[in-house]
Amino acid sequence: MAVVSAALAEMESRLDEERSARRTAQERAARQKAEAVRLASETARLGAENADLSEQVRRLEHLNDEFRKLLFGKKSEKLPPDDRQLSFEDLGIAVAEAGAEPPADDREDEGNAPRRRKRTARPGFRFPEHVERRTEVIEPESTLCPCGCGEMARIGEDRSERLDFVPAKCVVVETVRPRYACNWCKGGGVVQAAAPPALIEGGLPTEALLAHVIVSKYADHLPLYRQTQMFARQGIELHRATLADWVGKASFHLRPLVDRLAEDLKASGKLGMDETPVPVLDPGRGKTKQGYMWTMVRDERPWSGSDPPGVVYGYAPGRGGKHGEALLEGFSGTLQVDGYAGYNRLRRHDRPGGALTLAYCWTHGRRGLKEVHDSSGSPIAREGLARIARLYAIEGRVRGEHPATRQFVRWTESAPLVNAFGAWLDEQRSRVSPRSRLGEKLAYFARHWDGLLVFLHDGRVEMDTNFVENRIRPLKLTKKNALFAGHDEGAVAWARIASLIETCKMNGVEPYAWLRSALERIAAGHPMSRIHELLPWNFDAGTGNR
């Protein structure tokens, strides 16, 4: 029995060991399974994080490319007008130089004079009637007949015209006002003519000189220090501060005219607005600060409207929407803007004049897709660009037509394309990460969709704000040449005078002729009740009167 008990005990011990080994193996397998699950989860997490980081790297690389383009490259998909003109100028110079080289058979041979080339006819060109003409008659050295017959008879003549240039010159106008008194009595007093009116009483400049300085600065973008250099070449020393004082005084007298221009623009039912940064010297800090030039434009030419085009600029120290709202005070209707959120305050119903209808810009969305396509070749961006191009092709056909015609064509042809674009937009946004650059560009259309549809319901509305941006370009040229405005008040004067100069250009009025006439009439006491007569579109270039 003892032997059997020992055997059973040994078997029981072996079974216990096997059970323990089995439990240990099961626990090890469970731990390994749990570790495998943990590793799989960690791998998935790291994979998602890696994908997210990769997308972030691509986004940062795209941002870096855009930043480099802003600093060193073109700001539009089109060649800027200035660059384009420079290219044409260089090409024209090269062509003219090549054309000036005589053919090989026309060059001088040894001992032979060069053959006279046949003069090519100049294309018909007529100089304006007001351009001064000077006639030079060139007679032969002798009009005697070589055969001894005597004086030759005139049988005709050849006439040709060339354009000459007489450098601008300054003229001193000395005004003499004799005084008269009676030699026979003492009751007649003294008689003397009144002094001619002057915008700057007791000042040096005539209104013509003031107009020249102002137009040179704000239309031809010549800073005042360059103008002082040009005056110095004629021996006339005029300090820049003197010219600045003249411009400031002229700006003061032009203020009522700009206010009247703004009132006229805001009486319309549809305007455009945009803002652009301008550097302004901050005297207290000894460096420049950033201000903003707000631009309010009326241009009814695309739909053959009756109101003349015009623009008013307003300087503000910041970009807050309240500054644009202040410039638009009194306006009600439709406003064409870009996607800047500061304009949303104009939708308030408690706003004086009521809520404005905001029409957003398709070009701003198109530019975003163009940036993505140029940097990554995205097929989605390419398709979006093609869809928008079809809309612009329709716009090109209705430009200049009556608003009713434009709206009918848009309803029948553009509306189906816009609806298809909206469906395509929803589909692509569901497939593209909203954090990607493409997702951000597509979001522009989604955020402003209602405003992008306004052009379908109103034939006066454009698809974009390009007509506003065109009026910002002159400001950028002035800013580029002058570097910065010297003070906030100087920027206000800049905005005021530029409003009148650019309105002249929009209406095909020569700025110098208009400004000279306007300043002369203001100096002569033109009544405020008839200030509208001085607006650029009322100017008669033939008589100088309105």
pTM metric for this prediction: 0.74
pLDDT for residue 458 is more than 50: yes
More confident residue, 411 or 87: 411
Buried b / exposed e along 473-488 (16+ C-beta atoms within 10 A) = ebbeebbeebebbbeb
- Residue 138, domain member (yes or no): no
The structural domain count of the chain equals 1
Identify whether the C-beta of residue 486 lies closer than 8 Å to the C-beta of residue 396.
Answer: no
Q: Would 76 be classed as within a structural domain?
A: no
Report how far residue 371's alpha carbon sits from residue 376's, in angstroms, rounded to the nearest whole number.
Answer: 9
Residue 516 neighbours by CB under 8 Å, 6+ apart: 207, 208, 211
* Domain-located, residue 445: yes
Exposure string for 29-39, b = 16+ CB within 10 A, e = fewer: eeeeeeeeeee
124 is a domain residue: no
End-to-end CA distance of the chain: 141
The parent domain of residue 400 ranges over 362-464
Copy the structure tokens of residue 168: 């601008």
366 found inside a domain: yes
pLDDT in tens, 184-211: 877 667 888 888 888 888 888 889 999 9
Report which residue type is found at 462.
E
Mean pLDDT value of segment 282-302: 80
Helix locations, 73-131, DSSP H: 81-100
Summarised one tens digit per residue, pLDDT across range 424-446 is: 999 999 888 888 898 899 999 99
How far apart CA 311 and CA 425 sit, in angstroms, is 35
pLDDT over threshold 90, residue 349: no
Pairing of strands 179-181, 190-192: antiparallel
Of 494 and 536, the one with more pLDDT: 536
**Residue carrying the six token digits 């100088």:** 544
Quote the pLDDT of residue 87.
45
Residue 217 inside a domain? The answer is no
Residue 407 tokens, joined = 């709206």
Backbone φ and ψ for 68, nearest 5 degrees, come out as: -65, -40
Give the whole-angstrom CA distance, residue 214 versus residue 225. Answer: 13
Task: Please return the burial class of 470, using the count of CB atoms within 10 Å of its CB with bins 0-12, 13-18 and 19+.
Answer: middle
Q: Which two tokens stand for residue 465?
A: 């704000």
* Structure token digits, residue 154: 């005139």
pLDDT confidence of residue 79: 47
The residue type found at 138 is I
Check: CB of residue 429 under 8 Å from CB of residue 439. Answer: yes
Q: Who wins on pLDDT, 545 or 454?
A: 454
Residue that the structure tokens 């305050």 belong to: 345
Digit-coded pLDDT (tens) for 123-154? 556 777 777 888 888 888 888 888 878 888 88
- Gap between the Cα atoms of 410 and 496, Å rounded: 38
Band (411; pLDDT cuts 50, 70, 90): very high
Nearest by Cα to 436 from 44, 61, 12, 35: 61
The answer as to whether 440 is a domain residue is: yes
Minimum mean pLDDT among 40-54, 323-337, 372-386: which range?
40-54
The verdict on residue 230 lying in a domain is: no
Query: What average pLDDT does range 320-330 have in this prediction?
Result: 88
Other CB atoms within 10 Å distance of the CB of residue 489:
13
3-state secondary structure of 518: helix
Q: Are strands 287-298 and 190-192 parallel, antiparallel or unpaired?
A: unpaired
Average pLDDT score over residue span 97-121? 50
- Alpha-carbon distances of 173 from 170, 200, 247, rounded to whole Å: 10, 15, 20
